[in-house]
Chains A and B, each alone.
Chain A
Amino acid sequence: AQSVTQLDSQVPVFEEAPVELRCNYSSSVSVYLFWYVQYPNQGLQLLLKYLSGSTLVKGINGFEAEFNKSQTSFHLRKPSVHISDTAEYFCAAAYNQGGKLIFGQGTELSVKP
């Protein structure tokens, strides 16, 4: 079955430290990958997406992610986090055009001063 796994439920980091949020997806010939951020009591905001082409994808707020087909991963990274990055982050995949989004369980990023 198609699935998305976020390996860490919580990631605490200090301000200005680098961070990596891990995401693995079940292998498929065709997959579209997304990272969304959710601030408390708000909807989801698209951070970045991989549809095709370059495997390194840059998004908003200084985030980037790398599509790794051999490892079926799409980890999210930021070289230096801010307090304002504290939020819930969701990795999601769509396995065909028009397909449903399959979400990971979410990772709570907590940035401490």
Chain B
Amino acid sequence: GAVVSQHPSRVICKSGTSVKIECRSLDFQATTMFWYRQFPKKSLMLMATSNEGSKATYEQGVEKDKFLINHASLTLSTLTVTSAHPEDSSFYICSVRLASGSAETQYFGPGTRLLVL
């Protein structure tokens, strides 16, 4: 498998501020990473696909100007929640895609709990 880390694990911020979340692939180079959002007692919602060296691909309904994604290297993708509001409070999880033969598997980070006051 792949080892994925996220930083910070938990963050509390004031409404109107921006928060950056890092996702790192620790043991292999990932050309593609994914960002998910998870509400309490709910499944994961794909926000965007992060591609190294190019613009992220956002899912329908996700504001790309609010959730800025940068994938500047093969081991790091960042998600910046700009001008955060209480409704942005959530659990954010990233994943990396590891190719194995003809199929691929996603490995997930431990998640980041964001609380906007």
Interface residues of A (CB under 8 A from B): 32, 34, 36, 41-46, 49, 51-52, 90, 94, 97-98, 100-101, 103-106
Interchain residue pairs with CB less than 8 A apart (14): A34-B106, A36-B108, A43-B108, A44-B108, A46-B105, A46-B107, A52-B102, A90-B43, A94-B104, A97-B102, A97-B103, A98-B97, A103-B44, A105-B43
Is B84 part of the contact surface with A, judged by Cβ < 8 Å? no
Cα-based distance from A42 to B44 in the complex (angstroms):
13
Q: Are A106 and B43 in contact (CB under 8 A)?
A: yes
Minimum CB–CB distance from B115 to chain A (whole Å) comes to: 13
Shortest CB–CB separation between residue A26 and chain B, in angstroms?
16
Dominant secondary structure at the B interface: strand
Give the CA-CA distance A52 to B46 in the complex, in Å.
25
C-alpha gap A44/B106 in the complex (Å): 10
CA distance A41 to B109 in the complex (A): 11
Residue of B nearest to A9 (CB): B41
Q: Which of A46, A97, A101, A106 contacts B46 (CB 8 A)?
A: A101
